[in-house]
């Protein structure tokens, strides 16, 4: 993601964090369609390039409302880093595979929302946004360089961490 877009997302998210009422409304959204009915979605959409579809922006907005704290670890790395309490990875391998194999925006939205919830809202915003943008590219059939697809990128990050804790 280009630096200019990174700044747009972080500035927008910072403003969202201060808008408790707007965040509460977005947290109740259960699909990109519901999130698309919220003004925050259109506020962000107007700051982004026209090529980015409303479904992608609505997914980013709706799920980002559940992010409480920014982390340094990438999104997939966080999903594979065991919590101190029980030593288990937050997102099991089967759930991780479900995330990688989502077939539509509604399924992706639900899976991402569940993943952010499992992480207690501790997510790297830009890494999360990158995952949604990669998924959008693949969903639209846009060409990606070999090894740069969503499955390659997230799998590399997830298993790099998960294998360190393998018993």
Q: Mind listing the pLDDT tens digit for each residue in 65-105?
A: 999 999 999 999 999 999 776 778 899 999 999 999 999 99
Q: Mind listing the pLDDT tens digit for each residue in 11-37?
A: 999 999 999 999 999 999 999 999 999
CATH superfamily of 3-165: CRISPR-associated protein Cse2 (1.10.520.40)
What distance in Å separates the CA atoms of residue 55 and residue 53, rounded to the nearest whole number?
5
Query: For position 4, what pLDDT does the model report?
Result: 86
Q: What is the pTM of this model?
A: 0.92
What distance in Å separates the CA atoms of residue 34 and residue 62, rounded to the nearest whole number?
8
Beta-ladder partners of 122: 69
Query: For position 85, what pLDDT does the model report?
Result: 67
Query: For position 42, what pLDDT does the model report?
Result: 96
Output the six-digit token pair for 30.
């259960």
3-state helix, strand, coil in the chain (%, to 5): 65, 0, 35
Q: Counting Cβ atoms within 10 Å, is residue 106 exposed (0-12), middle (13-18) or buried (19+)?
A: middle
Q: Mind listing the pLDDT tens digit for each residue in 97-149?
A: 999 999 999 999 999 999 999 999 999 999 999 999 999 988 888 766 777 78
What are 99-102's contacts with CB under 8 Å, separation 24+?
Answer: 99/154, 100/150, 100/151, 100/154, 100/155, 102/135
Output the six-digit token pair for 101.
């194999």
Q: Where are the domains of the chain?
A: 3-165
């Amino acid at each position: 993601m280009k630096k200019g877009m990174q700044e747009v997302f972080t500035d927008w998210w910072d403003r969202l964090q201060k808008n408790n009422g707007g965040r509460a409304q977005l947290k109740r959204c259960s699909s990109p369609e519901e999130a698309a009915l919220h003004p925050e979605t259109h506020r962000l959409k107007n700051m982004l390039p026209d090529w980015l579809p409303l479904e992608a922006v609505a997914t980013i907005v709706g799920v980002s409302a559940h992010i409480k704290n920014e982390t340094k670890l990438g999104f997939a790395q966080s999903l594979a880093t065991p919590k101190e309490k029980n030593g288990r990875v937050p997102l099991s391998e089967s759930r991780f595979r479900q995330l990688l194999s989502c077939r539509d925006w509604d399924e992706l939205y639900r899976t991402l929302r569940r993943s952010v919830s499992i992480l207690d809202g501790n997510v790297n915003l830009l890494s999360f946004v990158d995952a949604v943008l990669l998924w959008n590219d693949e969903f639209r059939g846009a060409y990606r360089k070999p090894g740069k697809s969503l499955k390659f990128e997230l799998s590399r990050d997830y298993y790099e961490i998960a294998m360190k804790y393998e018993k």
